């Protein structure tokens, strides 16, 4: 077993959180992680172990195909419409005219091995597996996340696209890049479809894909909404996507700042400690204020609520809101780290009070993520969301176990934790990470033994 990762006050990974003082005695890092989503021979075992009341459907690897061929015009058109509504709206990188034209070509000539055919198959696969967004049903865990026939059909389109991907990637083209983008971790894996050993490549800054003043696509006659509605949808999609890119760049800048500060720390002497930590806390607070100012001035098509409660009525606003919440958590977490590791011991009380304010905001966000962050809606972000919310749960548990005064670890978090365990069970039918995080949380409900292995499970009230 390799040694645990070095302590890093800015890292927000699940693994780094397990090294925090109050969690370290459990030695949970001795349990190795498997792949983010399952594949291969373990499908049947996973399906049989899933809770029938709280579990998304997971299927054996090889079952008879549910229908006929995958070149039916009506079905491909229907799946393309779903792709446009639920996937393209968040990643508007594809020329939809190429896809509609390719449906006609496939109807006349059959499935080819070219890039447009590959792109069409990937779009149909994603359109088949994605689900509508209904904010009133995001936390209903009694229904399966996907039906058997729906999953098999999406897998059939996806596998057909993968067979063509190697040929397509052998020749540089924008359509080929779009095929790989849809197939790789950024989209397909987050929806539950995996391509083995795929390296994520971002194609966000292609000059030829800058937004147009008018919609770059139009539905065939008789399909889709009015032109005004299409234009509004197009505008909202691009506003969302460009804002999302800006937030990704902001996250990179924040991590770069954190890494620089981490390198400069070098165990500062007492004379420098106060200045070092005060500068960091001031910078974190300033960045948070800038982000909030940016979000309250977003254009009307993507205006969002900036509080931590409930869900947004439409999916684009919900995703941006979650992105905002996660970035604010990234800026608040270091203060919680400083307090739980005793880094501020012996420093002025005013500095400790400043850190407490940021740390309590991190805990407030943690409670939201644990209670509302992991929903039943399958979307590009589901699998990463499992890790974000698990990290939030570990931070709450670490704080509760620390017994440090001044941190708002309120009893209401226990109900959220029970709800989160239900959500982990639900997605545990498909995600190996979800299953192991659930196991860790259950182990943390009991006191550690000297060997690091716990026996018996106590209620969260006993923490």
What span, in angstroms and rounded, lies between the C-alpha atoms of 83 and 127? 4
Q: Which two tokens mark 62?
A: 């090889």
Give pLDDT, residue 268: 57
- What is the three-class DSSP state of 242? helix
Q: What is the DSSP string of 61-87?
A: S----SSS-S--HHHHHHHHHHHIIII
Angle CA(422)–CA(423)–CA(426) in degrees, nearest 5? Answer: 90
Round to whole Å and give the CA distance between 287 and 325: 13
CB 389 within 8 A of CB 333: no
What distance in Å separates the CA atoms of residue 302 and residue 295, rounded to the nearest whole number?
10
DSSP string of 73-126? HHHHHHHHHHHIIIIITTS--S-HHHHHHHHHHHHHH---SSHHHHHHHHHHHH
Q: Helix (H) and strand (E) counts for the chain? A: 15, 0
In this prediction, residue 44 carries a pLDDT of 38
In angstroms, rounded to a whole number, what is the distance separating the alpha carbons of residues 322 and 76? 32
* Exposure b/e, 362-379, CB count within 10 A at least 16 = b: bbbbbbbbbbbbbbbbbb
- As a whole number of angstroms, the distance between CA 146 and CA 320 comes to 25
| DSSP alpha helix (H) spans, 296-381 | 315-340, 349-368
Q: What is the pLDDT of residue 319?
A: 87
Find out whether 54 and 436 touch, Cβ atoms under 8 Å.
no
Nearest-angstrom CA–CA distance, 59 and 147: 10
- Number of other CB atoms surrounding residue 249 within 10 Å: 11
Measured CA to CA, the distance from residue 232 to residue 212 in angstroms comes to: 13
Count CB atoms within 10 A of the CB of residue 346.
10
Q: Which residue has 């699940």 as its token pair?
A: 14
What per-residue confidence (pLDDT) applies to 350? 95
Q: Is the pTM of this model over 0.85?
A: no
d(CA 94, CA 87): 10
Q: Which of 421, 425, 423, 428 is nearest to 396 (CA)?
A: 421
Cα distance between residue 439 and residue 161, in whole Å: 36
Q: Spell out the per-residue pLDDT of the chain, length 463, in tens.
A: 333 334 467 677 888 899 999 999 998 887 554 444 444 444 333 333 444 444 455 444 444 455 568 889 999 999 999 999 888 888 888 889 999 999 999 999 999 999 999 999 999 999 998 888 888 888 888 877 677 788 889 889 999 998 998 888 778 788 988 888 888 755 666 666 654 333 333 323 333 333 333 333 344 444 444 456 677 777 888 888 888 888 888 888 888 888 777 776 655 555 688 888 999 999 999 999 988 888 888 888 888 777 777 888 888 888 888 888 999 999 999 999 999 999 999 999 999 999 999 999 999 999 999 999 999 988 777 888 899 999 999 999 999 999 998 898 777 678 889 999 999 998 887 788 899 999 999 999 888 865 444 443 334 444 3
Let me know: does 344 contact 301? Beta carbons within 8 Å: no
- Rounded to whole angstroms, how far apart are CA atoms 350 and 299? 38
Please answer whether residues 128 and 36 qualify as being in contact, where contact means their C-beta atoms are separated by less than 8 angstroms. Answer: no
Q: Taking the mean position of all CA atoms in its chain, how far away is CA 217?
A: 28
Which pLDDT belongs to residue 220?
43
């Amino acid at each position: 077993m390799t040694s645990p990762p070095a302590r890093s006050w800015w890292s927000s990974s699940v693994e780094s959180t397990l090294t925090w003082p109050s969690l370290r005695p459990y030695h949970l890092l001795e349990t190795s992680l498997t792949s983010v989503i399952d594949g291969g021979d373990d499908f049947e075992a996973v399906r049989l172990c899933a809770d029938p009341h709280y579990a998304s459907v997971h299927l054996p690897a090889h079952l008879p195909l549910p229908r006929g061929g995958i070149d039916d015009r009506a079905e491909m058109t229907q799946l393309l419409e779903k792709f446009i509504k639920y996937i393209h709206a968040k990643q508007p990188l594809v020329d939809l005219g190429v896809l509609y034209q390719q449906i006609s070509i496939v109807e006349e000539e059959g499935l080819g091995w070219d890039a447009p055919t590959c792109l069409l198959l990937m779009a149909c696969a994603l359109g088949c597996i994605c689900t509508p967004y209904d904010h009133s049903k995001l936390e209903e865990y009694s229904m399966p996340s996907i039906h058997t026939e729906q999953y098999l059909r999406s897998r059939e389109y996806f596998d057909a696209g993968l067979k063509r991907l190697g040929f397509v990637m052998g020749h540089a083209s924008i359509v080929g890049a779009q095929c790989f983008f849809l197939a790789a971790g950024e989209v397909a894996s987050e929806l539950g479809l995996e391509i083995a050993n795929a390296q994520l490549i971002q194609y966000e800054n292609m000059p030829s894909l800058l937004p147009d003043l008018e919609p770059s696509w139009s539905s065939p006659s008789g399909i889709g909404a009015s032109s005004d509605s299409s234009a509004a949808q197009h505008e909202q999609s691009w506003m969302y996507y460009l804002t999302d890119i800006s937030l990704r760049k902001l996250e990179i800048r924040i991590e770069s700042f954190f890494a620089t500060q981490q390198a400069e720390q070098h165990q500062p002497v007492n004379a420098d400690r106060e200045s070092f930590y005060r500068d960091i806390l001031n910078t974190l607070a300033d960045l948070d204020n800038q982000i909030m100012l940016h979000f309250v001035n977003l254009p009307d098509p993507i205006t969002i609520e900036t509080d931590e409660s409930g869900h947004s009525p439409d999916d684009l606003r919900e995703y941006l809101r979650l992105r905002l919440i996660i970035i604010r958590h990234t800026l608040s977490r270091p203060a919680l780290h400083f307090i739980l590791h005793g880094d501020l011991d012996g420093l002025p009380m005013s500095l400790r009070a400043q850190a407490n304010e940021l740390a309590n905001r991190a805990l407030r966000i943690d409670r939201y993520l644990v209670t509302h962050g992991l929903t039943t809606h399958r979307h590009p972000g589901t699998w990463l969301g499992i890790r974000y919310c698990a990290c939030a749960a570990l931070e709450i548990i670490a704080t509760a176990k620390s017994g440090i005064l001044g941190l708002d670890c309120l009893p209401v978090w226990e109900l959220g934790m029970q709800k989160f365990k239900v959500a982990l069970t639900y997605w545990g039918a498909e995600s190996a990470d979800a299953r192991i995080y659930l196991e860790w949380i259950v182990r943390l409900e009991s006191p550690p033994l000297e060997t690091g292995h716990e026996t018996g499970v106590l209620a969260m009230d006993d923490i």
